[in-house]
Amino acid sequence: MSTAIKISVIGAGSAQFSLGLVKDLCLTPGLAGSLVSFMDVDLARLEMIEKLARRYAAELGSDLRFERTADRAASLTDADFVINTASVVSHHHQRAMREVTAKHGYYYGGVAFGNHAQLAFMLAVARDMERICPNAWLIQSGNPVFEGCTLMTRETGIKVCGLCHGHYGVYQVAMTLGLDPQKITWQAPGLNHNIWLTHFLYEGKDAYPLLDRWIAEQSETFWRTHVAQSTHDIQMSRGAIHMYRMYGLMPIGDTPRQQRNWWYHTSLEVKKYWFGEPWGGPDTEIARPFFVEGLEKRIAFMTQLANDPKASLVETFGSEKTREQQVPIIDGLVNNNEYVAQVNIPNHGALPGVADDVVVEVPAIINAKGIQPLRVPPLPRKIMLEMILPEVLDMERELLAFKTGDRSMLLWSVLNSPQTRSYEQAVAVLDDLLAMPGHEELATHFRWPETWE
């Protein structure tokens, strides 16, 4: 028995993600016959991904249908699921913004400017869904998951589930300790990019003492000798372990990147100390170009494959499921094939101490009844006060600024960036950021309040 559905992928030009999705669909019999609608504004990438998808499915003999379109409304029509992976702020534009802030004395960004363009885009997609496919689930698979999912669930009636890879970091902890990842059980709730290893068991026994022993006996050697395998390979870095000391629980995945802990991020030298060689973590002037180059190489490689009809895609990409959660979640919801995932959904009491209408990252049981978050024990009060609630406040300010278009709230955020040294500097960098090409809409939306002058 299988259920044919329609999945709309917004921002489908993200080639690696889209092909992974197709793989998982091909390998999920319960979704045979489904239609995947690739939507993107980049027509060349869109054509490439559709070609690859068709060929991959054909090689595996899978019963899937595909369409491609640059028309979002068309793609959303009759959709049962919408996967939004799109980013409207390009790597190029992000670099241009960092160049502007550098002129004002900020190291590698360093300014709290907010995600307003991306929030506007996410809300537009959600509003389209409300109109066109109001019963569809939105699986938000691009950042800012926390702010965006909270905004969309507050402002629209659609069902939103945000996903992120960060929680897989727990397996990296296990492997570094020499533990079989299959034999650990764990829980790491919190907010997206701000999750904390509350439970860490190996063969049913608390594994934190094993971590403590690793820190005591092996960490210094590890930090001296480890060469990061990817720019994001910081789970066992000196910075992550220091955060464990500061906050009392191990920070997982993207959590060690938290710019809130600005003291790990003041220069490339400092970042290398805390996050290791050769890049100092993913957020440096040498890591980011390497990362973007890697993405571009993969796209070039996939374009080449798409244009080589003789290449075997199954040989190239394998026929194992990815570790992505999108398809198992869809399968769970559609076919009652129960699945436990780490999701971002409105709290409604799952994470004590956080308001109901804030999106939290928690484990959830997914079946035909829906996505049921597991109520987790409270996080330690120290982590709530130092890491969780300050981030909730930042999010609330960002959403209020977004909604009201109050420019003084942007200024307030810049003033509160840890690298800001004077009022004049904050005013100047904000002016220059808003005057950048591509920020015309932002500059119109954000006005000084009436009391300003």
Minimum gap (Å) between residue 451 Cβ and its own copies: 5
Among 112, 126, 411, 442, binds its own copies (CB under 8 A): 411
Closer by beta carbon to its own copies, 66 or else 412: 412
Minimum gap (Å) between residue 187 Cβ and its own copies: 18
Size of the site for its own copies (CB under 8 A): 36
Residue 335 CB contacts under 8 Å (≥ 6 apart), including other chains? 1, 2, 3, 30, 31, 368
Q: Sort strands 137-140 and 81-84 into parallel, antiparallel or unpaired.
A: parallel
> Residue 129: CA atoms inside 13 Å, Cβ hemisphere, count?
31
Q: Sort strands 199-202 and 370-373 into parallel, antiparallel or unpaired.
A: unpaired
Among 73, 311, 374, 423, binds its own copies (CB under 8 A): 423
Q: In the chain, count H helices and then E strands.
A: 19, 15
Determine, following the binding rule CB under 8 A, whether residue 341 of this chain makes contact with its own copies. no
* Residue 254 a catalytic site member: yes
Burial class (CB in 10 A: 0-12, 13-18, 19+), 152: buried
Stated length of the chain: 453
Among 60, 210, 389, 436, binds its own copies (CB under 8 A): 389
Written as one letter, the residue type at 60 is: L
Closer by beta carbon to its own copies, 301 or else 448: 448
Determine, following the binding rule CB under 8 A, whether residue 181 of this chain makes contact with its own copies. no
**Which residue is listed with tokens 């030009």?**
13
Give the number of other Cβ atoms within 10 Å of residue 377's Cβ: 11
Q: Which of 165, 199, 226, 242 is catalytic?
A: 165
Determine, following the binding rule CB under 8 A, whether residue 378 of this chain makes contact with its own copies. no
Determine, following the binding rule CB under 8 A, whether residue 56 of this chain makes contact with its own copies. no
Determine, following the binding rule CB under 8 A, whether residue 447 of this chain makes contact with its own copies. no
Determine, following the binding rule CB under 8 A, whether residue 409 of this chain makes contact with its own copies. yes
Minimum gap (Å) between residue 404 Cβ and its own copies: 8
**Which residue is listed with tokens 């100092």?**
280
Q: Among the candidate windows 132-140, 219-227, 343-351, 387-395, which touches its own copies by CB under 8 A? A: 387-395
DSSP code of residue 20: H
8 Å CB contact between 154 and 357: yes
Q: How far apart are the first and last CA of the chain?
A: 67
Closer by beta carbon to its own copies, 85 or else 420: 420
Closer by beta carbon to its own copies, 283 or else 406: 406
Minimum gap (Å) between residue 249 Cβ and its own copies: 9
Closer by beta carbon to its own copies, 273 or else 290: 273
Determine, following the binding rule CB under 8 A, whether residue 244 of this chain makes contact with its own copies. yes
Is 143 assigned a ligand-binding role in the annotation?
yes
Q: Among the candidate windows 70-78, 106-114, 173-181, 399-407, which touches its own copies by CB under 8 A? A: 399-407
Bridge partners for 436 per DSSP:
none
Tokens of 339: 């699945």
Is 164 assigned a ligand-binding role in the annotation?
yes
Determine, following the binding rule CB under 8 A, whether residue 452 of this chain makes contact with its own copies. yes
Determine, following the binding rule CB under 8 A, whether residue 206 of this chain makes contact with its own copies. no
Determine, following the binding rule CB under 8 A, whether residue 412 of this chain makes contact with its own copies. yes
* Residue 167 a catalytic site member: no
Minimum gap (Å) between residue 413 Cβ and its own copies: 9
Written as one letter, the residue type at 68 is: R
8 Å CB contact between 351 and 189: yes
Determine, following the binding rule CB under 8 A, whether residue 428 of this chain makes contact with its own copies. no
| 358 vs 20: CA distance, rounded Å | 30
| 4 vs 34: CA distance, rounded Å | 4
Phi-psi region of 227 (alpha: psi -120 to 50; beta: other; left: phi over 0): beta
Bridge partners for 372 per DSSP:
365
Question: Which of the residues 261 through 320 are near its own copies (CB under 8 A)?
Answer: 263-264, 266, 270
Determine, following the binding rule CB under 8 A, whether residue 375 of this chain makes contact with its own copies. no
Determine, following the binding rule CB under 8 A, whether residue 397 of this chain makes contact with its own copies. yes
Is 192 assigned a ligand-binding role in the annotation?
no
Residue 447 CB contacts under 8 Å (≥ 6 apart), including other chains? 405, 406, 407
Q: Which residues are known catalytic residues?
A: 165, 254
The residues of the shown chain that bind its own copies, judged by CB under 8 A, are 212, 244-246, 248, 263-264, 266, 270, 381-382, 385-386, 389-390, 393, 396-397, 400, 404, 406, 408-409, 411-412, 415, 418, 420-423, 426, 449, 451-453
